Structure 1
Protein backbone atom coordinates (compact mmCIF):
# COMPACT_ATOMS: atom_id res chain seq x y z
CA UNK A 1 0.00 0.00 0.00
CA UNK A 2 1.38 3.38 -1.00
CA UNK A 3 0.64 6.46 1.09
CA UNK A 4 0.58 9.83 -0.60
CA UNK A 5 2.55 12.24 1.55
CA UNK A 6 2.56 16.02 1.23
CA UNK A 7 5.28 18.46 2.25
CA UNK A 8 4.85 21.09 4.92
CA UNK A 9 4.86 24.54 3.33
CA UNK A 10 7.04 25.94 6.12
CA UNK A 11 9.39 23.23 7.35
CA UNK A 12 9.50 20.80 4.43
CA UNK A 13 8.69 17.77 6.60
CA UNK A 14 6.43 14.96 5.37
CA UNK A 15 2.74 15.08 6.22
CA UNK A 16 0.91 11.76 6.19
CA UNK A 17 -2.79 11.47 5.27
CA UNK A 18 -5.10 12.60 8.07
CA UNK A 19 -2.39 14.64 9.77
CA UNK A 20 -1.38 18.28 9.62
CA UNK A 21 -3.25 21.56 9.30
CA UNK A 22 -4.69 22.96 6.08
CA UNK A 23 -5.02 26.74 5.72
CA UNK A 24 -6.85 28.36 2.80
CA UNK A 25 -6.24 32.05 1.99
CA UNK A 26 -8.92 34.36 0.64
CA UNK A 27 -7.41 33.98 -2.85
CA UNK A 28 -7.99 30.16 -2.71
CA UNK A 29 -4.34 29.34 -2.12
CA UNK A 30 -3.92 26.19 0.02
CA UNK A 31 -1.13 25.87 2.58
CA UNK A 32 -0.35 22.61 4.38
CA UNK A 33 1.43 22.70 7.73
CA UNK A 34 2.84 19.81 9.76
CA UNK A 35 1.76 21.27 13.12
CA UNK A 36 0.55 24.45 14.79
CA UNK A 37 4.14 25.58 15.41
CA UNK A 38 4.79 25.75 11.65
CA UNK A 39 1.49 27.52 11.06
CA UNK A 40 2.20 30.09 13.78
CA UNK A 41 5.69 30.84 12.46
CA UNK A 42 4.35 31.16 8.90
CA UNK A 43 1.72 33.71 9.98
CA UNK A 44 4.34 35.64 11.96
CA UNK A 45 6.39 35.78 8.73
CA UNK A 46 9.51 34.15 10.14
CA UNK A 47 11.94 32.85 7.54
CA UNK A 48 12.36 29.06 7.59
CA UNK A 49 16.02 29.28 6.58
CA UNK A 50 16.90 31.08 9.82
CA UNK A 51 15.49 28.36 12.10
CA UNK A 52 17.66 25.36 12.90
CA UNK A 53 15.01 22.86 14.05
CA UNK A 54 13.53 22.24 10.64
CA UNK A 55 14.66 20.30 7.60
CA UNK A 56 14.71 23.19 5.12
CA UNK A 57 17.62 25.37 6.10
CA UNK A 58 19.70 27.38 3.68
CA UNK A 59 20.72 25.68 0.46
CA UNK A 60 18.80 22.46 1.18
CA UNK A 61 15.59 24.34 0.33
CA UNK A 62 16.74 24.73 -3.27
CA UNK A 63 17.68 21.06 -3.52
CA UNK A 64 14.29 19.87 -2.27
CA UNK A 65 12.31 22.05 -4.66
CA UNK A 66 14.56 21.20 -7.62
CA UNK A 67 13.90 17.50 -7.01
CA UNK A 68 10.15 18.12 -7.08
CA UNK A 69 10.30 19.75 -10.55
Structure 2
Protein backbone atom coordinates (compact mmCIF):
# COMPACT_ATOMS: atom_id res chain seq x y z
CA UNK A 1 0.00 0.00 0.00
CA UNK A 2 2.72 2.47 0.98
CA UNK A 3 4.71 1.64 -2.15
CA UNK A 4 1.68 2.60 -4.26
CA UNK A 5 1.32 5.97 -2.51
CA UNK A 6 5.01 6.72 -3.07
CA UNK A 7 4.76 5.97 -6.78
CA UNK A 8 1.55 7.97 -7.08
CA UNK A 9 2.49 11.56 -7.97
CA UNK A 10 -0.30 13.52 -9.65
CA UNK A 11 -2.81 10.65 -9.82
CA UNK A 12 -2.38 9.73 -6.16
CA UNK A 13 -6.10 9.35 -5.52
CA UNK A 14 -6.50 7.04 -8.50
CA UNK A 15 -3.71 4.75 -7.34
CA UNK A 16 -5.16 4.64 -3.84
CA UNK A 17 -8.56 3.67 -5.28
CA UNK A 18 -6.90 0.90 -7.32
CA UNK A 19 -5.18 -0.36 -4.18
CA UNK A 20 -8.45 -0.32 -2.25
CA UNK A 21 -10.58 -2.04 -4.91
CA UNK A 22 -9.61 -5.69 -4.22
CA UNK A 23 -10.34 -5.08 -0.53
CA UNK A 24 -13.83 -3.80 -1.42
CA UNK A 25 -14.50 -6.85 -3.59
CA UNK A 26 -13.37 -9.09 -0.75
CA UNK A 27 -15.68 -7.28 1.65
CA UNK A 28 -18.62 -7.64 -0.73
CA UNK A 29 -17.94 -11.37 -1.11
CA UNK A 30 -17.84 -11.73 2.67
CA UNK A 31 -21.16 -9.88 3.07
CA UNK A 32 -22.74 -12.05 0.37
CA UNK A 33 -21.54 -15.20 2.11
CA UNK A 34 -22.92 -13.91 5.42
CA UNK A 35 -26.32 -13.18 3.86
CA UNK A 36 -26.35 -16.63 2.25
CA UNK A 37 -25.65 -18.36 5.56
CA UNK A 38 -28.37 -16.29 7.29
CA UNK A 39 -30.83 -17.26 4.55
CA UNK A 40 -29.95 -20.93 5.06
CA UNK A 41 -30.49 -20.61 8.80
CA UNK A 42 -33.94 -19.01 8.66
CA UNK A 43 -36.58 -21.77 8.63
CA UNK A 44 -39.01 -21.56 5.73
CA UNK A 45 -42.45 -20.62 7.02
CA UNK A 46 -45.33 -23.05 6.50
CA UNK A 47 -47.90 -21.92 3.91
CA UNK A 48 -50.71 -20.81 6.30
CA UNK A 49 -48.40 -18.58 8.35
CA UNK A 50 -47.06 -16.96 5.20
CA UNK A 51 -50.53 -16.19 3.79
CA UNK A 52 -51.57 -14.73 7.15
CA UNK A 53 -48.54 -12.40 7.25
CA UNK A 54 -49.00 -10.98 3.75
CA UNK A 55 -52.21 -8.92 4.24
CA UNK A 56 -50.73 -7.33 7.35
CA UNK A 57 -47.72 -6.12 5.34
CA UNK A 58 -49.89 -4.67 2.56
CA UNK A 59 -52.43 -2.92 4.84
CA UNK A 60 -50.30 0.09 5.94
CA UNK A 61 -49.62 1.04 2.29
CA UNK A 62 -53.38 1.24 1.65
CA UNK A 63 -53.85 3.54 4.65
CA UNK A 64 -51.18 5.93 3.39
CA UNK A 65 -52.71 6.49 -0.08
TM-score, normalised by the number of residues in structure 1: 0.21
Between structures 1 and 2, the one with greater helix share: 2
TM-score normalised per structure 2: 0.22
Question: Is the strand fraction higher in 1 or 2?
Answer: 1
**Which one scores higher on RCO, CA 8 angstroms, separation ≥ 6?**
1
Larger radius of gyration between Structure 1 and Structure 2: 2
